[in-house]
Amino acid sequence: MSQARIKGILTPNLVPLDRNGNIAEDELRRYVEWLVQKGVSGLYPNGSTGEFTRFSPEERREIIRIVASQVNGRVPVLAGAAEATVRDTLAACAAYAEMGCTAAAICAPYYFKLSQDSVGEYFAELARHTELDIVLYNIPQFANEISLDTIERLADFPRIVGIKDSSRDFPRFLNLINRMRPRRPDFSILIGTEEIILPALLMGGDGGTIATSGIVPEVVMKLYALAESGQIDEARRIQFKLLELINVMLFGAGFPEGFRAAASLRGFVMGQSRQPLSPKEKCDLNAVRQTLHCILSEHGFVAEIEGAVGCEPLGQDGSPSEAEIRAIVAEVVRQMRTNR
């Protein structure tokens, strides 16, 4: 069992790719180091934001190896281990334990619909045989749900040390806290949705796996610190700014393409995603650039965003402001230079 409850903001890190579509190890190390230096509480490789389904099992282990070795014990590493079978998941957990990871995040089996008894037995079998702590990962949008009753039953296994809930269901999250705190005070309860990270913290959640912390770690960690210290008004303002940012990145392109575009604006060479996108799905880099620039500058952080300009609103008739026109021109010039 873990020595301490997993807490804080764990970053579901992206994976940079080189020109051939392979893992760019040096850039991934640079990105991970940047996140650690920015103060994130931990790393969460091989999550949805890390596009784990688009990598082979061997590549997933390589990603964990790179992240864990770069972190070198400075912060916890919650390794995504969502393999297709018990045997493969146990093998992944054994490898990640050797690499020094803190725990494995494991969703319920996907594709085939299972009863809650089967979901419970799946995790029970893992808990009986793994040497690595397990954080349950509830994401019913893509995998079988892990019900509250099932979570309570699984709490009898010391190896199961927490849950990351990405259901986007806040009443469920509150019921989870209410039922689990008296039963397992050491059980870590994390939210997987930044849209409700502040309410989750205020109601007793331990933190979250927050995708925007991979883009604006300074801002997300500031929100967390403010919530921890009871400075709710300022934390609330940041929460609403995060809504603006995630809306741009989620709806500007297919997930997580908007996040990859935003990371490139923070200075990282992310490469082209393995998932081809139609022209309509291409992220509006100018909108991402402007929102990113504003959220950093408005909260006291220096924004070194190429081509970013002032945070001026649209004109009253909905036309672009002068600042936005300058940004559009800067983006066109940047693309012309890139394509020369």
Question: In this predicted structure, which of 60-74, 258-272, 300-314 has the lowest mean pLDDT?
Answer: 300-314
Is 259 contained in some domain? no
Chain mean pLDDT for the chain: 87
> Coil, strand or helix: which one is 265?
helix
Give strand ranges (E) for the chain.
8-11, 42-43, 78-80, 103-107, 133-138, 160-165, 188-191, 207-209
Sequence-distant (≥ 6) Cβ neighbours of residue 37 within 8 angstroms: none
Supply the range of the domain harboring residue 42.
Answer: 8-232
Is 153 contained in some domain? yes
Total domains, the chain = 1
Is 313 contained in some domain? no
Q: How far is CA 92 from the centre of its chain?
A: 20
Let me know if 113 is a catalytic residue: no
Let me know if 222 is a catalytic residue: no
> Coil, strand or helix: which one is 23?
strand
Q: Is residue 320 pLDDT above 70, yes or no?
A: no
Q: Which of 44, 122, 164, 224 is catalytic?
A: 164
pLDDT at residue number 308 = 56
Q: Which of 96, 137, 222, 224 is catalytic?
A: 137
> Cα-flanking dihedrals φ and ψ of residue 199, to 5°?
-60, -35
- State the CATH number of the domain containing residue 192: 3.20.20.70
Tell me how far apart the alpha carbons of residues 270 and 259 are, in angstroms, rounded to a whole number: 10
Mean pLDDT score, 319-333: 44
Is 312 contained in some domain? no
This prediction's pTM: 0.86
pLDDT at residue number 304 = 61
pLDDT for 127-145, tens place per residue? Answer: 999 999 999 999 999 999 9
